[in-house]
Structure 1
C-alpha cells in the first residue's frame, strides 16, 4: 500500500511500537483521510515526535464502557487503525491541523513505558489491510448505495454522486463508514468488521435501523 511518499507492504515496514491517539467517535480506515485539530499539549508533543520520525500515529477509541475523561489514561478499545501524517499546518494559536491517511488496522498488545506525556503500544497489524487482499466484488454495492441515498434524503443532504460512482468498492465502503455520523459503538463495529463485505453489511444494517427510527443520525446505540 502506498500512503503519501511511503510504501507499506509487510509488517517489517511498520514500527513495533506506535504512539496512540485516543479519540472517542473517530474512525480511521485504510485509504481513508481523517482531519484532526490537535491542541492538547501531550498530543502536540506526540505529533511533534511523529513528524520528526516516521510520521505514524495509531488512532484508537477509549474502551466503550470507559468515561470519555479517561481517554488519556484509561482502558482503550483493542482494535485501532494506523495512519500516516500526510498533511500538516500550524494555526498560529498553538494548534495543529493534521490529516491522517489510513494504512492498516492493528490490535493493541502491551503498553510500553516511555516517560513521554502520551501513550505508546506494541501492536499487531492486520496484514490483509496492507496487501489489499479483499474481495471487493462481494460487496452489495447496489444495496449500499440505495441505503446511502435513503439516508441522505431523510436528512436533506447532498452527495457528489459522480465521485461516488467512480469510487471502487473498497474506497466507497471505507469512506462511507468514516463519514457516517454514528456513535462510538457503531464506529468500532465498522472498524472491527472482519472484511470489506462484513463492513458494508454492517453499515447497511446500522443505517437501516436509523432510518426505521425516523431517519435521524445519532439515535442508535449498539449494546
Structure 2
C-alpha cells in the first residue's frame, strides 16, 4: 500500500496554475517532506490563499541572480515540485510553520502576470515513466540503490534494519529514489537533473552513479539531518505531528 496515497492526490479541478515559492539551494522532490517557516508577508499571503483553497504550494529553485536585471523576479529552475500542505501551525507575529509533502514533478510553461505579491506560473505535469521491458529487473535495481545508500549513511541504531525492511517492502523504486535524492547533500544542479528525469529506472541509475562517485560528505550536514532514516521520511505525518527543523523564507 502506498503510504502517500491519501495525501498526494492533486485536486480534480487542478488546471496547471501554481503558486511559486522560490528558495535558494532547495530542490524539493515528490514523496519527500519539507518543513518551512513562513513569515515574509508575500508568502504569508500565498499560504493563506493555499490553505483556503487547494493546500498546494510549488517549490522552485532559485538560480544564480548576481547579474539579474530585475531582482524582484530572480531566475528559477524550470523544473519544480508541487507540494501539499499536510500540517500548519500559526505562531505569534503572523509567522507560520508548515509541513509540505511533495506531490508531483512539473515544468514551468510560462510565468503568469498577476497582481498578487507572489509569483505564479502555468505548469505541465511530469509523469513517472516505467519502461515495461525493465519490469523484471526493477527489484534488482531497488536493491542496488539501497545497497549504495546503505554504504554512506551514518551508523545508527536500526538503520540497517530500516534498509532491510525497505528492500523487502512494497515501496517502489520511484518513491525511494526521490526520498534519497532529496535527503542527500548533492549539489542543486545534480538534484535538478534527477528532478527533471521522468524515466524512473534511468533516474535510479543516475542516483546510484552520484552516490558511488564518493563525493558525499554527510558530516557537513547539520546534526539534525545526519541520521538519515528513509522510513521516517516515508511516513505521512499526522495532522498534529510537526517535526523541526524548518527552512525559512
TM-score by length of 1: 0.78
- 1:82 corresponds in structure 2 to 82
Deviates more, 1:37-46 or 1:70-79: 70-79
Q: Deviations over 1:107-150 (max 9, x none)?
A: 11222122111101111112x24xxx535845412221221111
Give the secondary structure class of the aligned counterpart of 1:23.
strand
Length, aligned pairs only: 206
- 1:39 corresponds in structure 2 to 39
- In structure 2, relative to structure 1, the CA distance for the partners of 1:68 and 1:205 (3 Å cut) is farther
Equivalent runs, 1:1-223 vs 2, <5 Å: 2-4=5-7, 7-8=9-10, 13-63=13-63, 65-67=64-66, 73-126=73-126, 128-129=127-128, 134-135=130-131, 137=135, 138-139=137-138, 140-153=141-154, 156=155, 159=159, 160-161=162-163, 163-165=165-167, 166=169, 167-209=171-213, 211=214, 213=215, 215-217=216-218
Question: What are the ranges of 5 or more consecutive residues in structure 2 without an aligned counterpart?
Answer: 221-249
Deviation at 1:104, TM superposition (A): 1.4
Question: What are the ranges of 5 or more consecutive residues in structure 1 without an aligned counterpart?
Answer: none
- 2:246 corresponds in structure 1 to none
How far apart in 2 are the matches of 1:199 and 1:157?
Answer: 27
More contact order relative to length (CA 8 Å, sep ≥ 6): 2
CA contact (8 A) 1:60 1:80 kept: yes
**TM-align CA RMSD:** 3.0
Give the secondary structure class of the aligned counterpart of 1:134.
coil
CA contact (8 A) 1:62 1:71 kept: no
